[in-house]
Structure 1
Amino acid sequence: MKILTKNLTLALGIGMAIFACSETKDKTEEVDQLEMEQTQPKTNMEDKTITTQIMSKSGSDLAGMVTFKEVADGSLDVTVALRGIAPGEHAVHLHETGDCSAPDGKSAGGHWNPLGVEHGHRLEDEEFHKGDIGNITIGEDSTGTFNMQVEGWSIEGDSTTNILNKAVIVHAGPDDFTSQPSGAAGPRIGCGVIAK
């Protein structure tokens, strides 16, 4: 009986030691995996999304958001959603300076135009400002959305593609795509700074 008890105690002790070693190994592997994940560069596309709030300017009641999301081919998917402005067409551009401090939005400077070309229509003309986007249509309920995929823009790319620290400007009227240098779109009624 003493031998049986001794053998059972020995077997139980060996089993507990094996279990403890296995548990320690599992915890070590978990820690190693976590450390490896923390040191790997982040490639999640969600990290390449910026949402910019649009504030009212020039006495308007405009409010809205613009979302920039990097997609697989390197271009940016841009969605503009606005409310509180007159029905009809309103120009939307990126301007060169991320500063919306002026009541009329003029602190944002002119159109973002790092290549020094003429203003034009992004989808139809050979030459256009990097900051040229287009017109958003606002419905009778004073709301509207606009979406497009833009090549030649980046989040943290080189100086000719990087949209960070630029301003989104919404105008009181439509862009005619021909008048220089800004499409005769009227006063700036909304402004938002593109920042991380």
Structure 2
Amino acid sequence: MKLFATTSLATALLFAAPAFAQDATPAPADAPTPTAAPTEGAAAQTADGMEPVTVEMKNVDGGSAGTVTVTPTPHGLLLAADLSGLGDGERSFHLHETGLCEGDFSSAGGHYNPTDKEHGYMAENGPHAGDMPNFTATGGTAQFQTFNPMVTMTGGEAPLNDADGTSIVVHDGADDYTSQPAGDAGDRIACGVVFAAE
């Protein structure tokens, strides 16, 4: 009998606990609606306060060569390309050290390399922060995504939004991932400014 009474009391307290835990006073009508705290991933994703940037790519004649959307994530930058007017074949695709696309696009400078690495995925002391995989154009167009974990929009060792800005350059050949300083990738055929030079 004693055991039954103890069990009944425990059950009653268990069901009553939520009522004791809640404030019985109703909230004012104009009180803000509480929101859930962001998860660690969501907080990290917006930590630099940056939104995705859509880069307008231009060819050497000034015509449109499509777009590249650069999206910050907690682990690097995701680049989604929708390119056109390239001719067919394998092409290379890099981040360059200066946010300026003029003339033959030599104004964009060399590959983005703030950590002083060698060029190429196959280099022992590589790659550059701006090195990215080749892609293939078919019918003069290419739609693809690539992820670069070595760069950020702001902060860290390799921020794109620095004093020199940053650009994206497409070359008319494939990067061999070993040759210095730029993978023997050929002429620059398209360029777009991610962040303009100050």
Paired position in structure 2 for 1:79:
80
* Structure-1 separation of matches of 2:62 and 2:136: 17
Find 2:66's aligned residue among 64, 67, 89: 64
Q: How does 1:1-196 map to 2 (within 5 A)?
A: 25-27=28-30, 29=31, 47-57=50-60, 59=61, 63-72=65-74, 74-100=75-101, 102-121=102-121, 125-126=123-124, 127-139=126-138, 141-158=139-156, 160-164=157-161, 165-195=165-195
Residues 138-180 of structure 1, C-alpha deviations (whole Å, 9 max, x = no match) = 01x211122122212111123x221222010011111111221
Deviation for aligned residue 1:26: 2.4
Structure richer in helix, relative to its length: 1
Q: Shift of the alpha carbon at 1:44?
A: 9.5
Over the residues paired in the alignment, what is the CA RMSD in angstroms? Answer: 2.8
Secondary structure in 2 aligned to 1:134? coil
Count of residue correspondences: 159
CA contact (8 A) 1:137 1:145 kept: no
Unpaired segments ≥5 residues, structure 1: 1-21, 34-41
- TM-score, normalised with respect to structure 1: 0.70
Shift of 1:48: 3.2
* Pair member with larger Rg: 1
The 2-side partners of 1:182 and 1:60 are apart by 24
- Normalised by the length of structure 2, the TM-score is 0.69
Give structure 2 stretches of 5+ with no counterpart. 1-25, 35-41
User: 1:48-73: per-residue Cα shift (whole Å, max 9, x none)?
Assistant: 3111111112x48651111121224x
CA contact (8 A) 1:67 1:79 kept: yes
Identity %: 35
